[in-house]
Every structure is written in structure tokens, then in C-alpha cells.
Amino acid sequence: MAEKKTGKPGTHQQEGITRRTFIKNTGLITGGLVSGGLLGGLLGNQLGTGTDTETSTEEHGHGATHRYEEARMFFKRQGDFRVLEMVTETIFPEDGNGPGAIALGVPYFIDRQLAGNWGSNTRDYMQGPFEEGTDTQGYQSSLTRGEIFLQGIRLINQISTSDYDEAFVDLEEQDRVAILTEFSEGNAEMRGVSSSRFFSLLRQAVLEGAYCDPLYGGNREMAGWRMKGHPGSVMSYLDVIQEEDFVEMDPVALKDHNH
Amino acid sequence: MVQQLDKVDVVTVGVGWTGGIIAAELAKAGYNVVGLERGAEQKTEDFLQTKDELRFDSRYELLQNLSNETVTFRNTPDMTALPMREYGAFQLGTGLGGAGVHWSGVTWRFLPYDFEIQSQTVEKYGEDKIPEDMALQDWGITYEELEPYYDTFEKTAGISGEENPFGGFRSDDYPTPPMKETPALRLFKETTTEMGYQPFMAPSANPSETYTNPDGKRINQCQYCSYCSRYGCDFGAKSDPIVTVIPTALETNNFELRTYSNVTEVLHEDGVATGVRYTDLTTGVEYEQPADVVVLTSYVLNNARLLLQSELGQPYDPETQTGSIGKNYCYQLEFSGQGFFEKQYNMHMGAGALGMAIDDFNGDNFDHSDLDFLHGGWISLRQGGRTPISSNAVPAGTPSFGREFKEQSIYQFFRMLSVGTQGASLPNVNNYLDLDPTYTDKLGNPLLRMTFDFHEQDQNLARYLAEQIEDILTEMGASDIAVNKDLGNFDIEPYQSTHNTGGVIMGDDPETSAVNSYLQMWDHDNVFVVGASAFPHNGGYNPTGTVGALAYRAAEGIEEYLSNGGGQLV
């Protein structure tokens, strides 16, 4: 397992970074397309305000600073949201690689997504008549993603209390995994949608929250990208794409392009 | 109240690659052209600061809003078709530039074999080689006849590439050199060379160097940033209609672009089209735009739909196998195998059309005497730029969530390589397009109904290509190789390919085709239907190169039609 730790990108801290290594790592200068203005903006964001990272690390540890964005737009009942939190952490747990779903902001990310276009299927064809169709005909439910999530999250807790005599948030990890496995295999009975479809939406939303641009509230401090070694939205790889060895880079987010 | 507008020489329905090419060529020749585009105007500036996987790759911002319009689908004629409610096996473009804005940029020429597939198959293997339910047809044009138009399109788009050892005659080299070779591409190249194949760099519309096309339009050098397929390019470094043919057309002052203009009918009388009716989607007002020539240049599926809706041409009937509108709808057998390696590859860097290809198993480049299928597909290792939400490959047996999944999906992120193919899709008499009897779009018009399944030809070809992919991954040194050899039924849910073709096919016989080799309708001389809708089958390649070539030929035909005062061109 030791080899996994060596050469693993994204684990080093940002504090020690110099202007020179930042430029080298992002390949921005070598890319040849970035104007002085943009580069200046990037450096300003990445280096000039170097305390951002430290402050937020403290927040995680002690909750010293209020995150006013940590309130719900979609889920009305706090109990449902607590189940969602535990579900996301079960799907994407904190481990030696780094933070889990909760610390990455995934539950609030999902709450916001469900409150928006995605959660209400505004860009999908939702006219009737609705028929079940065959397995090859795709999604045919009249339920929106928001409705599916609400029903599914409540059913998860209901099954937990009936089968394990405990709320989902109090279950041991192996039991939480067992319940979610039943959902993923389509064995839980849902109305108007299969539990496997609910689970695949849920799993997809967790991965989105872990690895989206931080502007959406997930992937906090780009910690998801750092874990995975993905540098986000780098403008150019022109001069490094032929490198034989793996090229480590600090991640760049859309905020860094926006100045 | 429908408002009448003044007559123009040419009206195009849709302004993407094909509409842009038609508009540019005819406007340059001095004709006045109106382009009706139902989507919004867009330009490179729209894509600055939007390298955003969630927005474009997961939420499909550049794609058609399905709440306005979708297609219905069933596998066989005896099933009830149901709407594609969300994306989706294929991704419909919208807005100025259409799917040409969010494409990857792989720009092939089809093989000479493709254009004469029926006659060459009979000549080489005998008539019995063609299954009874396969509506295989020659295209009514040869590769040699189409070659000059391929050359024109490649020069307009600044295509980067190197010669395909199995390709047809080229009158000139690619306008720009091949893209950069990466370690992963090199591994594929060295492995396939050792296996006796002939690898080469795939042809790409992500130019290897900054290029100015013959119309004076500049396409920047690709930066390999990876935000390509499903994105618009923020650097003007992907050749697309909005940086090439559309500005070329606009600069002539002979081209008027009208956005949010949704055409609902081609108006016609006694075999002559008089113009089109369209709705301004911002006001709901309906207009009639008279024109000497009507050119359908929307996506494949909408070309067929608009003809059916307008009662132009004869709809295809699978029972009697007569009629041509909706006939020979084909697709692409696009899939890949994956394997895992010790080494980490920089797979997050890349470009839509960056890839190393072999063509040894495409077309009739290999002997089919003892094989139970026709045609083949190009096989490649592509490096489009891996992004973290969409790529979470883990070895078989790994759970789909939880600790082990997280560990593996992170560990393997740069260690997985995939080898893929785009297999040809040959026509079947039961694969076709018509209008749905139940479901409608937002304006109340019937949706297009797609009846499509994979048949024995497809199953056998896919299995053969999957075996080649497995062999290559094995020789590359991969472990935990996963290649699906069972194509199964066509399933509209998982993304496969936006290479829909057919429905308004070309040929040399009005009985078996809808348009001639200039894409002019046999029964309506002043209607041209341009796009992959004209393909009698889909080859084992991405279609856009051939679409571009056919559009240049159609433009030449329209000019000839207008200057000669009408008539059939063939």
C-alpha cells in the first residue's frame, strides 16, 4: 500500500507554495495563452490571500466561523437531512485519502441541486402519458428527482428502524452499507420508481458533490480534487502533455479565472 | 395571423456546420440567404471561464432542452414508443453552431468501400453475404467524386492529421500536422505496431498549430485543456461553425441570421417548395419565409421530422419496404474496453480528438470471407482529458460505493486506459424514423419516433471488435481487463454516441433514396436536405468529415441550380 502514497498528487499543503512553483505546476506560463492580466489574477487568488486555506482548516476543526450557507433550501425536515448526510458519508467516507462527503460539503450541495433545475427536471421531457416501458426505454417516471430523493431518504430510515431497530444515523457502517446495497440492487420497494434508479441518482449526486467546482458548494477547498490528483480547470497543458512521468499540479478553480 | 416576408434566394433550416457551409458558399457567390436557427446566438466569449464539468458534462447545458422537444423510442415496430425523457444514448445540440459547437472534433473521411458497399460486397463475397433484412445500398457517388469536397472541408476546418494507410486517394495533405503524441498514445502505437497493425494519429479539428483557413478565419492552437467534448472551446481552438463558416457568411452582408426561429413546415405546391413557416419562439408570432431554394440543415433527426411533418417525399413503410423518408436510420457501435496499469498516465490532459488509431479492422480492410458480419470500425486509444466526476473506473469486483470504491476510484484514476471503437452501423429494414402518434413537442407537433435495435450483424461485428480490443489491452500489459462482448439490445439510457445517421438517404435511384448525390430531393427540385441524414449507412468512423464534404457538394449543386434556372442536377 505504501506505493499509493508515493507520488500521489494533491496531498501537499498549499502554504509552502512559491510563485515560481505555482507557475510551473499549473503550466500557465508555458501554456503560452494566458495574458498577464489573467495570470496576475490567478496569482492574486492563489497566493495573495494565502490565509484562506488556513482559516478554513480551522473552521473544520472547531467550527469557529459560521458558514451561513449551511442551511437547507430543499429538505424541510432536519431529520431527513441528517439521513442524507449519513447516506453520503457511507457512499464516500472519510479515510486515509482525505475527507468524506460531509466535510466536502456534499449534503448541502445535493440540497441545492434538488432545489434547482435538476431537482425539478425542468430540462427533461415530463409530459404524459406515463408508461413503465421496457428496460431499454430509459427513465419513464413522472416523479421529479426531488420527489425521488425525499421518498428514498425516508424509506432508508424506515427500513433501518424496522429491520435494525435503530435510526439510520445511529447504525454501524456495515449495516448502513447493507441497507444501501439493497437499494442499489433494486430490492427496496419504492412508489413510481425503482430503488436502483434512486440509488444511482444518489451515487451520482455524491460524486458530483465531491468533485464539482467549489462554486457549487461541494469539493470544499478543492479537497476532492486534491485527493484525486485532478487539478481542476487548468487553462493549458500544451507544454506538459508529453511528459513521461506523472505531473503534479495544484488545482485551479473557476474563481481563479474570474477576476 | 401568419406574417408574410419578402422572398429570398435561399433559406436554411438550422445554422450549424451544414447550414453555415451552405450559407457561406452561397452568400459568397452573391445570393441572399436567410438562416433560421431555433436556438440562441453564441460565440467564443460565451465559453470563457466555464471549464465546468458539472454544468456542461453532467447537466448538459449546451444540449437541446428536452422539455421543449425530444424523440420517442422503441426497439421494434410492435412496441409502444416512449419519450426519451432525459439524456441519453445521444446528445442533441442546440443554438448557433449546433452540435458542431460541443463536438470532439474527430474528422474522418469514409473509405472508398463505404460509397460502393453494396456492389463491392456482391462482387467480392456474392449476394448471399448480405442478409435479407439488411437494406444495404450504394451511395450514388464514389469516394473519388467526393474527394475534392473532403479536401475543402478539411481546409476550412484546419484538420490536423497524418495519412490513413488504408484511406482513399488524397489530393493534398492535411492542412496542419498531427497533434502531440503522449505516453499513453505511444503505448498503443508501439503495441499495435508489434502486433502487425499500422497505427497513425487520428484526424482532428483541434488544430496542432494556429491556422488561418481559405476564408481568412483563424483557429487557434489547441491547448490540450481537456474541456472539449460537450463544451464550447474558450480559446477558439476547436474548429466549429461559430469560428469559421458562420462569420464567413455574415461578413458577406448577404446572409441574415435569425435566432429563436423554429421552422415547423416546409411549404410546397405541386412538387415545388415555396418557402417555410416558422415560429419566433420569443414572441410566438408565425412567419412565412418564401425562398427559391429551401435547404434543411438541422440535425439528422430534425431533417427527417420536418419532411414528415410537411408531407414532403414518401414516408418509409417497413411492411412493404417502400418510401424513403425515415428509411435506413443507422447509428454507431461505439464502446470501449478498459484495463488497469501500474504507471500513472496524465490522462486529465487531452483534447476531444486526440487519439492514436488503427484502421486494420475497418471497412473491408480485412477479409470477411469467413466472418459472419460485414464492415468494421476504427480502433483507438483516445485521450480526451479525464474529468473527476465522470471517471471513476474501478476493477471488476469492486463495490460501487463505500470505502473500497473510494480507495480504488482514487488510486486508479490515472492508471486506467481504455481502448475503444466506433463500429459501422448497417441498415436494417426494421430500423427507421416516423412520427409518433401520441407525444408532441412544446408547440404541439408530433415528436419523431425512432424504431431501432441492434441486429445479428451488429452483435457479430461488436463481438469481433471487442475481441480485438481485448487482445490489444492484453498486449499493452493491462490487468483486470473489462470488455463487454455482448452488445445486447439498443438501450436509450447509457450514453453511447451522437452519430445518428440516415432517414433522408442519398442514392442513384428515386425508388430507393430520397435525395440525389447533391442532396437534392428527387421529387422536389428546390429542396436540399443536408447532413448525416443522407448516409445510406454509417461507416466505422465519426461522421462529421463526410457531413462537411457532402455540404460543400450540396452548396455547389444549389449554386448550379440557381444559375441554371432549376431542374434536377443528376
DSSP state of B95: S
- Give A59: exposed, middle or buried? Use CB within 10 Å, 0-12, 13-18, 19+: middle
Q: The whole model's pTM is what?
A: 0.92
Measured distance CA(B460)–CA(B477) in Å, rounded: 26
Min distance B496 CA to chain A CA atoms (Å): 13
Contact A211 B388 (CB under 8 A): yes
Question: Radius of gyration of chain A from Cα atoms?
Answer: 21
Contacts of B67 in chain A (CB under 8 A): 121-126
Measured distance CA(A252)–CA(A211) in Å, rounded: 13
Checking if the pLDDT of A55 tops 50, the result is no
Tens digits of per-residue pLDDT, A140-193? 999 999 999 999 999 999 999 999 999 999 999 999 999 999 999 999 999 999
Angle, in degrees to the nearest 10, between helices A145-164 and A106-115: 130
Contacts of A140 in chain B (CB under 8 A): 82, 85
Chosen for mutation from B222, B228, B346 (greatest number of chain A CBs closer than 10 Å) is B346
Contact B60 A97 (CB under 8 A): no
DSSP-H helix ranges across B77-182? 99-102, 112-115, 117-125, 143-157
Name the average pLDDT for chain B: 97
Min distance B490 CA to chain A CA atoms (Å): 7
Select from B539, B537, B552, B554 the least CA-distant residue to B150: B552
Predicted pLDDT of residue A259:
65
Measured distance CA(B385)–CA(B400) in Å, rounded: 23
Mean pLDDT of A60-76: 80
Tens digits of per-residue pLDDT, A229-255? 999 999 999 999 999 999 999 999 999
Predicted pLDDT of residue A53:
40
Neighbours of A57 (CB within 10 A): 13
Grid coordinates of B118: 453494396
Question: Radius of gyration of chain B from Cα atoms?
Answer: 23
Contacts of A216 in chain B (CB under 8 A): 54
Predicted pLDDT of residue B201:
98
Given a contact cutoff of 8 angstroms between Cβ atoms, the answer to whether A252 and A231 are in contact is yes
Q: How many CA atoms lie within 13 A of A108 on its CB side?
A: 17
Taking CA–CA distances from B209, the nearest residue in chain A reads A238
Domains and CATH numbers, chain B: 3-564 (3.50.50.60)
Checking if the pLDDT of A20 tops 90, the result is no
Give the 3-state secondary structure of residue B498: coil
Q: Which residue among A4, A216, A244 places its CB closest to the CB of B54? A: A216
Contacts of A254 in chain B (CB under 8 A): 49-52
Taking CA–CA distances from A235, the nearest residue in chain B reads B225
- By DSSP bridging, strand B479-482 and strand B333-340 are antiparallel
Taking CA–CA distances from B451, the nearest residue in chain A reads A137
Angle, in degrees to the nearest 10, between helices B544-564 and B17-28: 30
Q: Which residue among B182, B389, B402 places its CB closest to the CB of A241? A: B182
Chosen for mutation from A177, A236, A237, A246 (greatest number of chain B CBs closer than 10 Å) is A237
Given the residues B268, B499, B524, B537, the one annotated as active site = B499
Q: Which pLDDT band, with edges at 50, 70 and 90, does B162 fall under?
A: very high
Measured distance CA(A162)–CA(B314) in Å, rounded: 62
Chain B residues 468-497 with CB within 8 Å of chain A: 489-493
Predicted pLDDT of residue A11:
34
Min distance B182 CA to chain A CA atoms (Å): 5
Checking if the pLDDT of A12 tops 60, the result is no
Strand partners, B325: B315
Which one-letter amino acid corresponds to residue B562?
A: L
Measured distance CA(B447)–CA(B117) in Å, rounded: 32
Checking if the pLDDT of B91 tops 50, the result is yes
Chosen for mutation from A4, A173, A212, A230 (greatest number of chain B CBs closer than 10 Å) is A230
Taking CA–CA distances from B450, the nearest residue in chain A reads A137
Q: How many CA atoms lie within 13 A of A18 on its CB side?
A: 3
Q: Which residue among B60, B180, B492 places its CB closest to the CB of A242? A: B180
Checking if the pLDDT of A63 tops 90, the result is no
Q: Give residue for cell 434508479.
A: A197
Q: Which strand (E) or helix (H) includes residue B71?
A: strand B71-74
DSSP state of B495: -
Predicted pLDDT of residue A7:
33
Measured distance CA(B350)–CA(B384) in Å, rounded: 5
Contact B406 A136 (CB under 8 A): no
Could you tell me if B406 lies within 8 Å of chain A, comparing CB atoms?
yes
Contact A228 B388 (CB under 8 A): yes
Q: Which pLDDT band, with edges at 50, 70 and 90, does B59 fall under?
A: very high
Contacts of A126 in chain B (CB under 8 A): 67, 85
Contacts of B88 in chain A (CB under 8 A): 138
Measured distance CA(A157)–CA(A150) in Å, rounded: 11
Min distance A95 CA to chain B CA atoms (Å): 8
Name the average pLDDT for chain A: 82
Predicted pLDDT of residue B3:
97
The question of whether B499 is a catalytic residue gets the answer yes
Mean pLDDT of B197-202: 98
Chain B residues 76-105 with CB within 8 Å of chain A: 79-80, 82-86, 88
Diameter of chain B measured on Cα atoms: 72
Predicted pLDDT of residue B128:
97
Tens digits of per-residue pLDDT, A206-229? 999 999 999 999 999 999 999 999
Q: How many CA atoms lie within 13 A of B545 on its CB side?
A: 30
Given a contact cutoff of 8 angstroms between Cβ atoms, the answer to whether B454 and B315 are in contact is no
- By DSSP bridging, strand B71-74 and strand B446-451 are parallel
Q: Which pLDDT band, with edges at 50, 70 and 90, does A27 fall under?
A: very low
Contacts of A124 in chain B (CB under 8 A): 66-67, 85-86
Predicted pLDDT of residue B55:
97
Tens digits of per-residue pLDDT, B343-399? 999 999 999 999 999 999 999 999 999 999 999 999 999 999 999 999 999 999 999
Dihedral (Cα; B473, B477, B480, B481), 10-degree rounding: 10
Contacts of B388 in chain A (CB under 8 A): 210-211, 224-225, 228, 230
DSSP calls for B431-461 = -EEEEEEEEE-TTSPEEEEEE----HHHHHH
Determine if the peptide bond prior to B350 is cis (ω within 30°). no
What ipTM was reported for this prediction?
A: 0.96
Predicted pLDDT of residue A65:
74
Q: Which strand (E) or helix (H) includes residue B263?
A: strand B261-269
- By DSSP bridging, strand B71-74 and strand B327-330 are unpaired
Number of A/B CB contacts below 8 angstroms equals 178
Given a contact cutoff of 8 angstroms between Cβ atoms, the answer to whether B109 and B118 are in contact is no
Contacts of A257 in chain B (CB under 8 A): 48-49, 51
Dihedral (Cα; A59, A64, A69, A72), 10-degree rounding: 110
Q: What is the 3-state secondary structure (H, E, C) of chain A?
A: CHHHHCCCCCCCCCCCCCHHHHHHHHCHHHHCCCCHHHHHHHHHHHHHCCHHHHHHHHHHHHCCCCCCCCCCCCCCCHHHHHHHHHHHHHHCCCECCECCHHHHCHHHHHHHHHHCCCCCCCCCCCCCCCCCCCHHHCCCCCCCHHHHHHHHHHHHHHHHHHHHCCCHHHCCHHHHHHHHHHHHCCCCCCCCCCHHHHHHHHHHHHHHHHHCCHHHCCCHHHHHHHHHCCCECCCCCCCCCCCCCCCCCCCECHHHHCC
Tens digits of per-residue pLDDT, B440-495? 999 999 999 999 999 999 999 999 999 999 999 999 999 999 999 999 999 999 99
Q: Which pLDDT band, with edges at 50, 70 and 90, does B1 fall under?
A: confident
Neighbours of A22 (CB within 10 A): 20
Q: How far is CA B22 from CA B33, B248, B553, in A?
A: 9, 11, 9
Tens digits of per-residue pLDDT, A94-126? 999 999 999 999 999 999 999 999 999 999 999
Contacts of A123 in chain B (CB under 8 A): 59-60, 65-67
Q: Which residue among A139, A210, A233 places its CB closest to the CB of B85? A: A139
Checking if the pLDDT of A16 tops 80, the result is no
Q: Which pLDDT band, with edges at 50, 70 and 90, does A51 fall under?
A: very low
Contact B223 A236 (CB under 8 A): yes
Q: Which pLDDT band, with edges at 50, 70 and 90, does A64 fall under?
A: low
Q: Which residues contact B476 (CB under 8 A, 6 or more apart)?
A: B187, B188, B191, B339, B341, B417, B419
Min distance B57 CA to chain A CA atoms (Å): 11
Give the 3-state secondary structure of residue B276: strand
Measured distance CA(B11)–CA(B562) in Å, rounded: 13
Min distance B384 CA to chain A CA atoms (Å): 12
Select from B418, B421, B340 the least CA-distant residue to B386: B418
Measured distance CA(A53)–CA(A30) in Å, rounded: 26
Chain B residues 350-379 with CB within 8 Å of chain A: 350
Percent of chain B at pLDDT > 90 equals: 99
